[in-house]
Structure 1
Amino acid sequence: MIKTVRRFFLFSLALSCLTSTALSIDVHAAEKDSTRPAVGDTAKDFELATPAGKQVKLSDQLKKGPVVLLVLRGYPEYQCPVCTRQVGQFIANAAKLKEAKASVVMVYPGAAQDLEKRAEEFIRDQSLPENFYFLVDPDYKFTNAYHLRWDAKRETAYPSTFVIDTDGKIKFAKISMTHRGRADVKDVLQALSE
């Protein structure tokens, strides 16, 4: 009986320590959240390249119309099937996005080594419409600047979607803290119409 009570006490103590550690991690994560882009913020300008080396700059795209910015997971040791579905959904709605005068800028982050090769694998079976840009983010420079780095084993970036108006202001933002929970193209089209 005493051993059972002692084990229960030790188990409860260990669980309490783990819970308080988890809560302190959540508080730290919440503090970081305030630095991530949000609705009403001005989007930081950036310039990244396609896997083929063509440079694309956010401010140049904004001169043409609003920008839908999709931050993908890159290659966390595999091609993300949820990213593949999300990109497919946006490509399937390319005509509606073009009608809204929007360009879609997709960012594929990762370590510089083999990033272009992995990016080409990801997009190989996709035919990108003229208003879509698929860019690589070697060594997470963009991802870190936007505070979207998911720095855990087999992770790269928090999957995120932003609608940036021509004045550079973010009018829609969805940052998923999991692999799922991505922005739906319907929500993006709604934000573009407002």
Structure 2
Amino acid sequence: MNTFSNLAGVLLLLLAAPALAQTAPAPPLTASALAVGTVAPAFKGQDAAGRPVELRQLLKKGPVVLYFYRGQWCPYCNKELSQLQDSLQVLTAKGAQVVVVTPETPANITQTVAKTKASFPIVHDRDLTIMKAYKTAFVVDDATAKKYLRYGINLKQANGLDQNILPVPATYVIGQDGKIKFAYFDADYRHRASVRQVAQAL
């Protein structure tokens, strides 16, 4: 009888284990920089015009400069992208290709392009796959999200998500060998990598 009870108990534990695993909460979404020298995560996406953007294919042509930005509502992002557009030839002259990733919806990307005159591909990271792979995504705390709302910025609406999520506006230079050659990662969104820094890294 005891043996039967023990076997029954083990069976119940085995049956329950998958269910417990499925209902376990997801780990918190926090941001951290990828180290120079590490292999850059592969990614695929589409730009605002629906054209495919794939890291592997881009690296066949030259190094890739990867930017992350928060949204068309962010004046610091608009300034950065405008300066990038103005100095784009400095980077392309070194054989680099620029790719920009954002969580904002395609409609908002259109506004970003209108504000910054951006001619480089901007990828809508709809499911946050790229942001998570590069560890730039983080959940905005409730107090900050409410503060943004008072200024008319609804992050969930801007990004088409059910959470208030933003990227750290990081910049990575990825060599043709697929490894990260330069990383700029500052949680303070007011601080951005300069085009000069990126050009030197190339």
Scaled to the shorter chain, the TM-score interval is 0.7 to 0.9
1:50 Cα deviation from its structure 2 partner:
1.0
Aligned to 2:62: 65
1:175 Cα deviation from its structure 2 partner:
1.1
Aligned to 2:100: 106
Question: Equivalences for 1:12-23 in 2 at 5 Å?
Answer: none
Taking the aligned partners of 1:53 and 1:159, their CA distance within structure 2 comes to 23
**Are the aligned partners of 1:164 and 1:171 in contact in 2 as well (CA < 8 Å)?**
yes
Aligned to 1:123: 113
1:69 Cα deviation from its structure 2 partner:
0.4
Aligned to 2:35: 38
Aligned to 1:163: 173
Q: CA RMSD in A?
A: 2.0
SS at match of 1:190: helix
Aligned pair partner of 1:146 in 110, 134, 137: 134
Runs of 4+ in structure 1 displaced over 3 angstroms?
A: 125-129
1:42 Cα deviation from its structure 2 partner:
0.7
Segment drifting more, 81-90 vs 139-148: 139-148
Which AA in structure 2 matches 1:166?
Answer: Q
Q: Deviations over 1:122-168 (max 9, x none)?
A: 11244444xx2211111312111221112113551111000111111
SS at match of 2:138: coil
**Are the aligned partners of 1:163 and 1:188 in contact in 2 as well (CA < 8 Å)?**
yes
Question: Equivalences for 1:168-183 in 2 at 5 Å?
Answer: 168-183=178-193
SS at match of 1:60: helix
Segment drifting more, 149-158 vs 62-71: 149-158
1:55 Cα deviation from its structure 2 partner:
1.1
The structure with the larger Rg is: 2
Aligned length: 153
Q: Deviations over 1:39-95 (max 9, x none)?
A: 1111011011112211100111111111110011136xxx11101111111111111
**Are the aligned partners of 1:74 and 1:157 in contact in 2 as well (CA < 8 Å)?**
no
Determine if the alignment matches structure 1 residue 86 to structure 2 residue 96. no
Aligned to 1:133: 121
Aligned pair partner of 1:188 in 185, 188, 198: 198
In the alignment, structure 1 segments of 5+ residues that lack a partner are 1-27
Determine if the alignment matches structure 1 residue 52 to structure 2 residue 70. no
Taking the aligned partners of 1:156 and 1:104, their CA distance within structure 2 comes to 20
Taking the aligned partners of 2:35 and 2:71, their CA distance within structure 1 comes to 22
Which AA in structure 1 matches 2:71?
Answer: G
Normalised to the residue count of structure 1, the TM-score between the two structures is: 0.73
SS at match of 1:168: coil
**Are the aligned partners of 1:43 and 1:170 in contact in 2 as well (CA < 8 Å)?**
yes
Normalised to the residue count of structure 2, the TM-score between the two structures is: 0.70
SS at match of 2:35: coil
